[in-house]
Amino acid sequence: MIDIKNLTIEKAGEMLQNGEVTSVDLVSVCLSNIEEKNKDLNIFLEVFSDALEQAKKADEIIKTGKGGPLTGIPIAIKDNILISGRKVSAASKMLEDYTASYDAFVIKKLKEAGAVLIGRTNMDEFAMGSSTQTSAFGVTKNPIDPSRVPGGSSGGSAAALSAGMALSAIGTETCGSVREPAAFCGLVGLKPTYGAVSRSGIIAMGSSLDQIAPFGKNVRDAEIVFEIISGKDEMDSTSVNSIPENFSSSKKTIGIPYHLFEEGVDKEVMQNFKESVEKLKNNGYKIVDINLPYCKYSLAVYYIIMPAEVSTNLSRLDGVRYGLQKDGGNVSEVYKNSRSAGFGPETKRRIMLGTYVLSHGYYDAYYNKAWKVRHAIEMELKNVFKEVDFILTPTVPIPAFKLGEKLDDPVAMYLCDIFSAPANIGGVPAIALPSGVNSLKLPLSIQFMAPPFHEKDLFEIGKKFEEIK
């Protein structure tokens, strides 16, 4: 029996190449895990009926010796990434019956690489949330402790990998939506530099913040997927041609902004973080205290800019052009009835907030000011990276919380992203790494940030941390 929960892509790739297993074997194990547990955990919104067909094709390619590192690997896709001819709902009633008319750039890349797309995973509605509880199709449970959330908004993709229902998984980030579920499910999560991976073909949330991002059981697995999905795409003018060759194993200085940890960091998270810092110190890394006064406002800036972009991006879902349509006596009523019925409460909250900060009379006070602070945060990060190679923080201030918790307190939910926000606001890459467990055996995690396009440095330090942790 294949131990799929502990099998990495790298190992599976070797086994496929030397004929020890076939893609059909790997996909069959994932499908039987889905069959056994998906009803309870609610991870997949749809399992693709042609997954085994795709696996057979991949096996043919492998036989000819033309396979690559992802050929035949079953991969779970977050339900806000377009796959031509398949449904894509962003876990919203608004798009429940919507079918994608083209492939997202990353999907094209994954198909070219011969990966097996196994299904689409549950998420917070339109990626708004930190727990996968705002999905219109029910909550996803954390496979490690089903009384808890898997994190969000890419909770379904993280849970699929953690539960052995796929060997790889893709999510999206606007502010921590891959790093946070990676932390709650004991996985690696990479948030690439803004522009490193094309956003063409994702259902936009906050366009100046959104990123497609891979999960991995280890750093190498996240790196393999990143290498395949990154690169310039004509359909996204913010994507870049290539990742510069910036790798150097001499990068050793780590800055820690302890002043950002003032509020609400769980005791065991803090203890684990300090132990991780000691291990890095004992292995030759230089640790320095840094001050990031503007980064303190990252989350506040995020909750102005993101809703503004949400209100604009979601205006196309009007019941006429796309999505659910509810009748009305005139066109305004059609808009109102369709949007009232199609959107859930969190989505409505953000549309209202975004419309407010963009409205005449408030634009300067909120939106414009937030952009100025965003620029100050970008400059602050740029400057600090002249002194240090990495910034280190816990990934999330708390471990996975109970289902139902924080649902009636949006601000408490928003605070989960306190350490995620600077990387999205500043456009820099960051990686979440498992760093141990707490007394309840729940996974804990630390995150490194690096200068733009220094993903290779993150992989290098991540692999080092895997060795010493």
Active site residues per annotation:
78, 153, 177
Judged by beta carbon, residue 122 or residue 174, the one nearer ligand GLN is: 174
User: Based on CB atoms, which residue is closest to ligand GLN, 389 or 417?
Assistant: 417
Shorter beta-carbon distance to ligand GLN: residue 44 or 302: 302
Pick between residue 234 and residue 408 the one whose CB is nearest to ligand GLN.
Answer: 408
Return the number of the residue (72 or 399) whose C-beta is nearest ligand GLN: 399
Cβ 35 to ligand GLN shortest distance, Å: 29
Instruction: Give 140's DSSP letter.
Output: P
What the block records as the tokens of 358 is 């963009």
Of 182 and 388, CB closest to ligand GLN: 182
Residue 213, strand partner residues? 171
Query: Which residues contact ligand GLN (rule: CB under 6 A)?
Result: 127-130, 153, 173-177, 205, 306, 417
Supply the DSSP string of 143-199, one letter for each residue. Answer: TTBTTB---SSSHHHHHHHHTTS-SEEEEEESSSTTHHHHHHTT-EEEEPPTTTS--
Least distance to ligand GLN, CB of residue 160, Å:
17
In whole angstroms, how close is the CB of 180 to ligand GLN at the nearest point? 7
Other beta carbons within 10 angstroms of residue 399's beta carbon come to 22
With a CB cutoff of 8 Å and minimum separation 6, the contacts of 30 are 4, 51, 74, 118, 164, 165, 166, 167
Q: How far is the CB of 91 from ligand GLN (least distance, A)?
A: 12
Q: Can you tell me the distance from the alpha carbon of 251 to that of 83, in angstroms, rounded to the nearest whole number?
A: 39
Q: 74-78 and 168-173: which strand pairing?
A: parallel
The SS3 of residue 229 is helix
Query: Under 8 Å CB-to-CB from 441, ≥6 apart: which residues?
Result: 144
What's the farthest any 2 CA atoms get from each other in the chain?
71
Q: Pick the closer one to ligand GLN by CB: 116 or 260.
A: 260
Beta strands in 199-302 (DSSP E): 211-216, 253-256, 286-289
The encoded tokens of residue 197 equal 């991976």
d(CA 96, CA 225): 28
Least distance in angstroms from the C-beta of 258 to ligand GLN: 24
* Residue 210 Cβ vs ligand GLN, minimum distance, rounded to whole Å: 7
Q: How far apart are CA 456 and CA 65, in angstroms?
A: 28
Task: For the chain, report the end-to-end CA distance as a whole number of angstroms.
Answer: 29
**Alpha-carbon distances of 329 from 62, 94, 316, 332, 461, rounded to whole Å:** 58, 20, 20, 8, 61
Residue 38: closest CA among 138, 145, 129, 165: 165
Say how far apart CA 419 and CA 298 lie, in whole Å: 9
Closest CB to ligand GLN among 84 and 208? 208
Cα dihedral across residues 47, 225, 126, 43: positive or negative: positive
User: Minimum CB separation from ligand GLN for residue 228, in Å?
Assistant: 22
DSSP letter at 278 equals: H
State in angstroms the smallest separation of the CB of 153 from ligand GLN: 4
